[in-house]
Every structure is written in C-alpha cells, then in structure tokens.
Chains A and B, each alone.
Chain A
Amino acid sequence: MLAPGDLRPLVEVCDLVVSYGAVRAVDGVTISVAPGEVLGIVGPNGAGKSSLLAAVGGQLRPTSGQIRLDGVDVTKLPPHRRARRGVVRTFQDTSEFGRLTVFENLLVAGLGMHGASLYAATVGARAQARRTATAAERAAELLARFELEPMRDTYAMELSGGQRRLVEVMRGLMREPKLMLLDEPTVGVAPHLSEQLRREYRRIAASGVAVLMIEHVLEVVEEVSDRVVVMDNGSVIAEGTYDQVMQSQAVREAYLG
C-alpha cells in the first residue's frame, strides 16, 4: 500500500496571499495535501489559518497565488463550482440549515441535488426523482453510521452543538468528497461526540479523502493529523510530523511569545 506522501497531491496551494486592506492575513503560504492524508494547521489566533481555509474553499478571493485541485487551477472558481469538483467544508460556527430536518440537510448535499436547475426540478422531474432516491439511500446509510437515525426528522436547529457538527460532516460525506476542509472540528463538542468525530476524520482520510484541518486542541491534532503545518503571522513557520514541529524553536517562540 502507498503511504500518503507517495501520492500526487490532491490540492496544491502555491505562494498564496490573502490581504484585507494593508493587512496580509496569509502571506505567501505554500502547502499541499495528498489523498488519504490529514494535514493539521495550527498556530496562534490571527495566524491566518481560517483565511487560508476560506481561500481554498472559495469563500475568500486570494490576492495572489494559486490553488490547484487535481492539477486544475481553481483559484478563480466560486465556492459552488469548487464544491462540484469535490471540495466540502465545515465552518467554525456550525452551519446547519436550521429549519431543515437532519434528513433534509443531508438530502440538499446529495450529488445533483444542489437545485440550481429549475429545469431538473420541473421538466426533468423524473431524472431528479432518481437522483433524490439515490441521495436518500446514502443519507440513510450515513444516519446509521453516525447513529443519528432517531434524529432524522428533527430540525437541525434543535440539535446540540456536537450533533450539528456531525450533521455538517455527514453533509460533506453525502457529496463523496475529494477534499474536506475542517475548521476547528471539535470545538464545542461534548467529549463522547468528539471521540466519535475524531474516529470519523481518520476513517474519512482512510477512504482516500484529503483532509485539511484547523485545530486548536493539540491533542486532537496529534491524534488525527499525519502531518502538521504551523502558521504564525500569515506564514508557515514549521512543517512536519507532530513531534517534529513541536520541537521546533520557531514554534515555541510563536506560542510562548
């Protein structure tokens, strides 16, 4: 079997700059993630981690630099076009669709369910019904796997923080993603659900998905990541395995000031 590093990277970020006015939140970052690999990004508040993730997801337009997905330049693609190429993400504040049930939250995410086509919803209703049936099947599988079956008809806004996080991850999995972006994926999650989530993140990576994760809790980073990038002031100051970066002098300085 191939080790993750042997594969061609799925996502390549080259010399990326994200500026807010005069402030360079991301200042020339170059990273890559291979299929099946979890890359953890750590760093103090304001290091530019969330901006980097948003630039990869398409929520932020970078000032310069390039983002390639599967070798294709996606730097200028809007988020929904990147999503259709296999990029999914979770948000720092959970992003459930509050007045949709858990099941509907999953259904919306199903492939071909993005509904941008009025034609599919009306004239092409039969083909759409087939896609809906496929998505419903997949949703049922995920509900079973994440043990959320009893909650399937519950409005997402009635869920706990941890369950909302689960729904976000399940929604991502509905799309059979290639790249999953996780923004602080265990924040505000009860301990037993956090454990379940960490297992799932490893399992998602093991299925061949590239995972890019921002996480403050170092214990989670150590457990889940194959490789760690440390950012400070918009730049990468260390890269390597968890143990390697934790021994770096630059990292100690950044954290201890």
Chain B
Amino acid sequence: MSFSSLDFYLATVVVIFGVDVLSAWGLNLQYGYAGIPNFSFIVFQAAGAYTAAILTLGPMTATSGQTYVAGTHVPFPVALLAAVAAGAALSAVIGVFAMKRMRADYQAAILLILALILNQFIVTDTSLFNGTSGLANVSRPLGSLVNPSTTGWQWAYAALVWAICAVVLFAVQRLSRSSWGRALRAQRDHDAAAAALGCNVVALKMQVFVIGGAIAGLSGGLLVFYLQAFNTASWGYEETLAIFVSILIGGVANNWGVILGTFLVQIVFVEVPNLLPQFGYIGLVDALEWVVIGLLWMAAIALRPQGVIPERRVRAERFGLPALRRALPAATAAAAPGQQGAHEERLGATGGASRR
C-alpha cells in the first residue's frame, strides 16, 4: 500500500468512525437511556443520506443516468440541516404507532420488520432513490475552500465530522444528565412506576425517538457527502445490529463507552478485515465479519451486559448533599441489619445486568 493510498484509507476510516460514533450516540439515547429497541435505526440514517443527496444533486435530467425525486441545489449546510430534519420527521411519523405502550419485544419486532419493508420499498420503487443502484455523483461540499480531489479535503472533512461529533457529544451528555434523561432511565427500568410518578412515558419515548432520529439523519448526511454515493445496500438491517453491538460492548447508557465500542466493532472488526488478504470464496471475509459480530453480541450479553465502560453511577454529592462517609461494612450492616447490597463500592460495576 503506497503512502498516498494509506493516507486516503486512514482519512476514510476517521470519517466513517465519526459517522458511526454519531449513530451510536443516537441509538444509545434511544436504547441505552430509554430502552427503546430501535432495530430500524439505520433507516433514519438513510433518510438523512437520501435527503442530503437529492437536495444537492440538482434536478433530474435525461443525462443524469439515475432517477430520483425532488432534485434541487441547496448549499451544503442547508442540505445537512434538511438531513437532520428528515431523520426527525420520519421518526415522528413512525413513532406515532411504534412508541405506543407495548412490550419491548413486540416493539423490537415491529421496528425490525419496518426496516426490512422500507428497504425493500426503496429497492422496488426505483423512481424515488434509484433502487439498488442508488444515487451517485453527489458532489463533495466546501470545494471552494479545499480541492475536493485531494486527501487534504478528506482530512478537512474528517475534522468537520469530528467537530460536529464534539457538539453532539456535548448535547447528548447534557440531555442524558438532565432531569429529562433521568426520567428516561426511570421509565426504561419500570415504565408503570414512572407513569405512576407523573412521567408521561409515551411523550418521553416519542421525544427521544425523534432526537435519536435527528442524530441518525445528521450521520447519514455527513456520510453521503463523503462517499458521494448511497444505495439500498448501505442501509441493510444488519447495519443497525453492528451499532447495537458497539453500544453493548462499549457501555450501555455511557456515551464515552460508546466511542470505545464503536472503535472496537466498526473499526477493528468491520474495517480492518478489509485490509487482510482475501481468502476462500469471494464474500467469505464479509460473511465471517457478521459471524464475528453475532458472536460478540452473544459474548457481551453473557459476560458483560453493562459493557466495558458501564453506565456511570450518579452520586448524591452531585446534588449538594454532604459527602457520605464511606461506611465500613459493619456500620452499614448496623443501619440495615441482615440486609445485603450495602457494599456498593465492591458491587459497583455489576450495574446494568438487570431486567435486560
């Protein structure tokens, strides 16, 4: 591999990593904090990607060589915001029936089936986004600043993606630590009890579903401007599974842990195999990738369901209470004779294992 192609490859990995981290934060809000098993998450990324593409491709002409709807030219930032809006709007529509009170396993099934149906729909109706061939020739933005055909542009775009990641991280951390985030986690652990304490569970779920969808749309927009192309194979349902595994491995309801999980799953297990020498029949390495992801999922659930970096314990000190003297086990036992569970420092990391 020559230096320039390595440079090209590295920049691509950095961009994809950023996009995947964004997606994982979006899904972590929905699944990690709110307990919504959104198996159609990738659909909302696709909504953002297609929206950004058609808004910059320009009107369809006889020589476009591809069919799509509503082609127009808008500036890059507008197209990116439209991608966010598309993810949010589609989430709002789907959320109306998918966020009703129902058992989580039914909800998971509905959302998974929805992902399959919508993908098939776009495959079949080629007039919308050109079916399996998908949209191509999306122009790279900010071409007036950096020559888009250089690796310099790639690195500049990578920097933009990660700057956006920093803003989104700030936002998701702030949201998840707020009283709103606490109410989300409460209804995740026991929805009837949360409702009985005044939480409007359906509204909470709807809100987090739309916010997660907006982040998914953003990630899709950023992705399509880098890849310059997007088709139905880019958003198979299994892409959502890879994001789920990233969250499960990195840390459910821990936005920092999710960065680590995304690195391990999307980069080490999905990207690096592309560098390995191919062996066996064509497609074997790809297939093995999914086998590994499936095994990782099972291993994570069996061995460490809270992830490598578990959800952070929120201590009462944060709310201005005097620091708790670290009670000796004997002293704690005296306060609650015969009870266990007082030795929380030792139990610390066992969180997250329940109810899932």
Contact = CB atoms under 8 A, between A and B. Distances in A.
B287 interface: no
What are the 7 closest A-B residue pairs judged by CB atoms, nearest first?
A115-B183, A121-B180, A95-B193, A121-B178, A158-B341, A114-B198, A136-B319
Given A101-B314, A116-B204, A136-B316, A57 B196 contact: yes
Given A97-B189, A136-B316, A163-B341, 4 more contacts: A80-B201, A99-B355, A153-B316, A157-B355
A192 B337 contact: yes
B336 interface: yes
Contact of A175 (B175, B197, B253, B354): B197
A242 interface: no
A196 to B, nearest CB: 11
A26 B332 CA distance: 45
Contact of A116 (B200, B316, B338, B341): B200
A113 B321 CA distance: 18
Interface residues of B, number: 55
Interface string A127-165: 010011100100110000001111111110111101100
Contacts of A154: 341-342, 344, 347
Contacts of A162: 339
Contacts of A190: 338-339
A126 interface: no
Given A88-B196, A99-B311, A99-B354, A118 B336 contact: no
Given A133-B319, A153-B313, A116 B183 contact: yes
Contact of B182 (A57, A95, A108, A163): A108
A133 B316 CA distance: 11
B184 interface: yes
Contact of B179 (A98, A120, A155, A159): A120
Contacts of B319: 103, 107, 132-133, 136, 139
Among B188, B204, B341, B342, the most chain A Cβ lie within 10 Å of the Cβ of B341
Nearest to B340: A160
A132 B179 contact: yes
Contacts of B185: 97, 99-100, 104
Contacts of A152: 316, 321, 324
Contacts of A249: none
B336 A163 contact: yes
A80 B200 contact: yes
Contacts of A97: 185-186, 189-190, 193-194
B306 to A, nearest CB: 9
B145 interface: no
B351 interface: yes
B235 to A, nearest CB: 28
B181 interface: yes
Interface of B: 174-175, 178-186, 188-190, 192-201, 203-204, 207, 253, 311, 313-316, 319-321, 324, 327, 331-332, 335-342, 344, 347, 350-352, 354-355
A151 B341 contact: yes
A104 B324 CA distance: 15
A125 interface: yes
Interface in A147-188: 147-155, 157-160, 162-163, 168, 171, 175
A230 B215 CA distance: 55
A78 interface: yes
A113 B184 CA distance: 11
B321 A80 contact: no
Nearest to A172: B197
Given A79-B192, A107-B319, A121 B175 contact: yes
A247 interface: no
Nearest to B345: A153
12 contacts: A59-B195, A83-B196, A95-B192, A108-B199, A113-B182, A122-B180, A128-B179, A150-B342, A151-B344, A152-B321, A153-B315, A154-B347
Contacts of A118: 180, 207
